[in-house]
A and B are shown apart, each in its own frame.
Chain A
Amino acid sequence: MSRRPYTRELSNTGWWLQHPRYIRYMMRELSAAFIGSYVVILIVGLWQLSRGEAAYQAFLAAVEGPAGLAFAVIVLVFAIYHTYTWFQVTPKAMPLKLGDKPVPGALIVAAHWFGFGVVSVVMWLLVGG
């Protein structure tokens, strides 16, 4: 009897389409690209601001157009998904104990959302209010 182990081929590009959990993971990873590109847009905005009012108004007109708004909505959806996934995994990476008792994961996640809410309100009051 001879051994001849068989190795199944894996698609280097299509593997993540084989299970919903891999698709969710890839969407989480992809969210970083959208958030990163939005940061680039903000930096360009600051740069245009430094070049004077006309340049800044042109930048605003570009980002407030239909394409700019559509992109902002897509970025927002990905940013919320990114935040959701990030908060969901925090109890795994940072398990806490109160005395001898472990703090429930749901409480750690809820505390993050609460902190996120507080920071958002403060930012809104400082900048937008």
Chain B
Amino acid sequence: MSEQTIDLEILRYDPEQDQAPHFQTYTVPYREDWVVLDAINYVKDELDRTLSYRWSCHMAVCGSCGMVVNGEPALACDTFLRDCSDRIRVEPLQNFPIERDLVVVMDDFIDKLCSVKPYIVPQHEKSVDDGQYLQTPAELARFNQYTACINCLLCYSACPQYALNDAFVGPAALALAHRYNLDSRDVGRGAREDVVASNPGIWECSFVGACSEVCPKSVDPAAAIQQTKIASTSDYFMNFLMPGKRR
């Protein structure tokens, strides 16, 4: 009995040879328990060693293997062949320049992530000897959902606002800003405000909701952004009532 196979169309781009990306088709074995990443690894190991792509953990934790599979942003390690058609089209993430094959340039995202100060800004710095910053389970529950972000960039690939205006800070960075703003140990909200509450920040979002639909970790960046809009609007009006009050 001949082995069952599928066709994998991969967008290739070699900056030293190609003027533009082009699809190359590989025929790979079909296995019931294979994910798209397994099929790509098969291409790399057995068919074409020149193929470039990012991956690491193979368990939807590291966020490295974000790609567009049959038009949908997805983690290649979290997308089973059995859930796809016989012909699978794999492209690099949308809305980022292609460095090579399935590898994109993510510098823009890293810069934006840094700009929202995605770390705890404490009221008072404590030394290690002073002990931990304590928190109750209820305080943790306020932001826990947003800590699940693995920076896989599927949300940026799905976001048409980012596609149309790359000044937009974007879903993951704004969700992480919200995560730290909600943290009881953090007082950095005011310091994040210039970026977060700016026009290219939350106000560029028109609530398409695509980010939340494609998020593999159920972070729901769209919810984070809308909640930040409400908080920011409330701040704006409260500022009239109590000018100069620090948040």
The residues of A that contact B210 with a CB separation of less than 8 Å are 19, 21-22, 25
Question: Within the complex, which residue of A4, A19, A95 is in contact with B15, where a contact is CB–CB below 8 Å?
Answer: A4
Chain B residue nearest to A16 (CB atoms) is B160
Contacts of A18 in B (CB 8 A): 71
B164 at the interface (CB under 8 A from A): yes
Give A19's nearest chain B residue, CB to CB: B71
Closest to B226 in A: A93
* Across-interface contacts of A3 in B (CB, < 8 A): 15, 99
- Please state if B94 and A8 are interface contacts (CB–CB under 8 Å): yes
User: Does residue A12 face the partner (Cβ distance < 8 Å to B)?
Assistant: yes
Among residues 205 to 230 in chain B, which have CB atoms less than 8 Å away from a CB atom of chain A?
206-210, 212-213, 220, 222-223, 226-227, 229-230
Shortest Cβ distance from A105 into chain B, in angstroms?
10
Chain A residues with Cβ under 8 A from B141's Cβ? 100
Q: Are B208 and A22 in contact (CB under 8 A)?
A: yes
Residues from chain A with a CB closer than 8 A to the CB of B97 are 5-7
Beta-carbon contact of B223 and A92 below 8 Å:
yes
Could you say which of B13, B99, B223 contacts A93, with CB atoms under 8 Å apart? Answer: B223
B169 at the interface (CB under 8 A from A): no
A-B contact count (CB 8 A): 69
CB within 8 Å of B: which of A1-39? 1-8, 10, 12, 15-16, 18-19, 21-22, 25, 29
B20 located at the interface, meaning its Cβ lies under 8 Å from any Cβ of chain A in the complex: yes
Contact residues in A for B71 (Cβ distance below 8 Å)? 18-19
Is B105 interfacial (CB-CB < 8 Å)?
Answer: yes
Known: A19-B71, A93-B227. A2 touches B222 (CB 8 A): no
With CB as the reference atom, state the residue of chain B lying closest to A1. Answer: B16
Is A80 part of the contact surface with B, judged by Cβ < 8 Å? Answer: no
User: For A29, what are the chain B residues with a Cβ–Cβ distance below 8 Å?
Assistant: 206
Q: List 22 A-B contacts (CB under 8 A).
A: A1-B16, A3-B15, A5-B15, A6-B20, A10-B95, A15-B160, A15-B163, A15-B164, A21-B208, A22-B210, A25-B206, A25-B208, A25-B209, A25-B210, A29-B206, A89-B209, A89-B222, A89-B226, A92-B223, A92-B226, A95-B227, A100-B141
**Interface of B with A (CB < 8 Å)?**
13, 15-16, 18, 20-21, 71, 94-95, 97-99, 105, 138, 141, 160, 163-164, 206-210, 212-213, 220, 222-223, 226-227, 229-230
